[in-house]
Amino acid sequence: MQQSPHSPKSQSLSTSALDSAAQLSSLQQTYTMIPRVRPHTPLLDAIDTPTDLSTFSTAQLITLADELRLFLLYSAGQSGGHFGANLGVVELTIVLHYLLDTPQDQIVWDVGHQAYAHKVLTGRREQLGTIRSKDGLTAFPERAESVYDTFGVGHSSTSISAGLGMSLALRYQGRAQTVACIIGDGAMTGGMAFEAMNDAVQQDADLLVVLNDNDMSISCSIGGFSRHLAMLWESGYQVDISESGEPVLCHRPDMQAFDRRKRHKEMRDVPQLEDNLFKAIGFTYFGPFDGHNIPELLRVLSLAKQVSGPVLVHIYTTKGKGFAPAELDPVGYHAISKLPVEDNEAKTNAANTSIAKASKDKPALKYSQVFGQFLCDKAAADDKLLAVTPAMEEGSGMIDFARHFPERFFDVAIAEQHAVTLAAGMATQGIKPIVAIYSTFLQRGYDQLIHDVALQNLDVMFAIDRAGLVGEDGATHAGVFDFGFLRCIPNMVIAAPKDENECYHLLNTCYEYSGCTAVRYPRGAGTGATIEQPAQNYKIGEAVIESVLGKDNAPYKLALLAFGTMVANAQQAAEILTNDDAVLECQVHVVNMRWVKPLDTAMLETLLAQGVTHIATLEEHMIMGGAGSAVNEYLLNESAAFKQNRPAICNIGISDRFIAHGSQAEQLADCGLDVEGVIKQLKTLLS
């Protein structure tokens, strides 16, 4: 890795200095409580930019790690957000910013949910409490937010490709700057990472890749690659780096207390450590090293960044490091909600709320729980059901299914393209696979969806979670494109349930259908609707009139066509509208369209025959290419009644822009999709 001429730390740190400092690494703290009061962090408070680190001694860097970790705990308690991954990379973040001359040198984070410490050290310390809130810091690195955020991220396995692009562009321009990519073991399972590594060797690019191995993604890391990393760690050896930058095989110093009986049964002897996967591809490999040992990281990375060509430094860390509960439960502490207010009034209100809730029905189910319940129910009745997910077991509500039907559950790690084609292969053998995937991640398997599933009209069902606006995770995770990219594909059937009960039965309907289907539902809890048993089969492509409000002889008749969870807002808006004397007198037909494809065109013709004067479509999706566009296409191209009567029409949805992070309610209001916003747009249409 060529050295940046701007860096004041271009020389490797002396071995003697690091040896004397190594004993200090044991002073790092472990905390058991999230502080409610802003902790005392004098060293951290002195850092406004990474250059302020240049005068720190190794001992001060170790103390800084404690302060930074405590500050992250405090900030997470105030704002919520990603948690475990950030605690795990505190030392690595400090060392990278100490050794590199950012922002001239480029740090590229993969996924980006571990970049909170990076934000703190790059001038955003006092803003961290605003993270994930409207007009506050983004949950992930974003180029518009800071010059230190070199690449906008949110999806995994992109860092090596982006970093390679930067390195090649810098080389072309004759600029000697370091590019460092930080990628986790979970993200490394994505095929894009290996495509980039292959090309980095092909290009003989100067690229430093730091593999942060914590044996976790969101779920536990699985598969052959995870076992390969375990073999490297459990061997008891490491490929160290000499002062000249050459690989040196030696015993790992932390292995004295390691129980060698825990070695993986498939582990080979030491030569396999030297012939590891990364070296076989063509990278210069060093590791594994303790990612929480600051003196060790300083020594290794200061040397590694001077090695030419593609270099990979393998470190192992603990997700949730320094916070004891998170170390014990890294999945549960992947992200947390902010701490509740702690005062007498809040306690009284909370107690009263609990009493009130106890007297009512059970809390509304999350849509992921509805899917999980359906999955278990259906699997018990049909042994052809297999379930596939790309590392979303917990988030998609599949824990119970995986426990009760382990031989029918397939978590393929962060490999969305593979997940889709794997299901296609299953379907060729008379099996009914269900792919559980978030809307934003299905985008990554689009070619496979078209070519491998739909083109062959294979019997695959997609359970699409996190559809619509997702709140604090922001634009990178919003599922607002799926209607558009799904409905243009031949053979696809697309359902959009209005509530939990309808979701359950639409899942059943699409499962029973022979062909490519998708059920699209949102993040979080539903309306509290009770799931009726047994499971029903709805007629595919048939909409439902929810209500007809207003007088039959009203001069204006509005057909309000709502898709998915927007049915509830449509109903409320219609009730308010028909009771508002300031609005032109109208009758409103609230229609639960239920299906995006095929559309209920018979229902549309019936409404036209009844003399509707206005039509409005309502969806939590982009207007362009969305469900409203499907209605427009039919009316303009197929409906003689529409061409003859020409009712006024408008589409209500998300305009042509990305929606910034904030609460889901704030995002809906920003788009005019809350009840107030819908009423305003309907009044404009009627006027």
Q: Please, which residues have CB within 8 angstroms of residue 222's CB and are 6 or more apart in sequence?
A: 411, 413
Q: Please, which residues have CB within 8 angstroms of residue 298's CB and are 6 or more apart in sequence?
A: 13, 18, 58, 61, 95, 98, 99
Q: Is 416 a catalytic residue?
A: yes
Q: What is the pLDDT of residue 15?
A: 46
Q: Cβ(555)–Cβ(584) under 8 Å?
A: yes
Residue tagged active-site, from 119, 132, 319, 366: 319
Q: What is the pLDDT of residue 359?
A: 37
Q: What is the pLDDT of residue 357?
A: 43
Q: What is the pLDDT of residue 431?
A: 95
How far is the C-alpha of 101 from the C-alpha of 106, rounded, in Å? 8
Q: Give me the DSSP letters along 369-403.
A: HHHHHHHHHHHHH-TTEEEEESS-TTTTT-HHHHH
Q: What is the pLDDT of residue 262?
A: 44
Q: What is the pLDDT of residue 352?
A: 47
With residues binned 3-state (H G I as helix, E B as strand, rest as coil), the percentages for the chain, rounded to 5, are 45, 20, 40
Residue tagged active-site, from 142, 296, 416, 472: 416
Q: What is the pLDDT of residue 233?
A: 76
Q: Is 319 a catalytic residue?
A: yes
What percentage of the chain has pLDDT greater than the value 90? 70
Q: Whose CA is closest to 314, among 497, 184, 433, 443?
A: 184
425-430: long-range pairs with CB below 8 Å, 24+ = 426/386, 426/388, 426/460, 427/453, 427/458, 427/459, 427/460, 428/458, 430/384
Burial 115-124 (b: 16+ CB within 10 A, else e): bbbbbbbbeb
Q: What is the pLDDT of residue 85?
A: 84
Mean pLDDT (10-residue bins), the chain, 687 residues: 44 47 58 84 96 96 95 84 84 97 95 92 93 89 94 90 94 94 90 92 96 67 76 82 90 61 43 74 93 96 96 91 73 67 52 42 89 98 96 93 96 92 95 97 96 96 97 92 97 98 98 98 94 96 96 93 97 94 86 98 97 97 98 97 95 96 94 97 94
Q: Please, which residues have CB within 8 angstroms of residue 36's CB and are 6 or more apart in sequence?
A: 74, 77, 339, 342
Residue tagged active-site, from 125, 305, 444, 597: 444
